[in-house]
Amino acid sequence: MWMLLLLPYIGLLWVPFYNFAEPSLFGFPFFYWYQLAWVPISSLLIWLVWRSRAPDETQ
């Protein structure tokens, strides 16, 4: 499950992959809304990893 935390890193690391103006969403170029979309996705992934950890893995 910890590998899920690499998805936002990989998805945002390679800028030429999302360095486009189209398709726009609500007037925002793809470059901006793609990055903003990763905020809730990253939060969801962090939550999933947190929920899947064993109970004895405390601080």
The predicted-structure confidence for 1-58, as pLDDT tens digits, reads as follows 788 889 989 888 988 888 888 888 888 888 888 999 999 999 999 999 998 887 765 6
Distance, CA of 30 to CA of 26 (rounded, Å): 10
Distance, CA of 26 to CA of 20 (rounded, Å): 15
Tokens 């962090």, located at residue: 46
Name the domain count of the chain. Answer: 1
Structural domain harbouring 37: 2-52
Tokens 């990253």, located at residue: 42
- pTM over the 0.85 mark: no
Nearest to 16, CA basis, from 2, 1, 34: 34
Q: How far is CA 39 from the centre of its chain?
A: 6
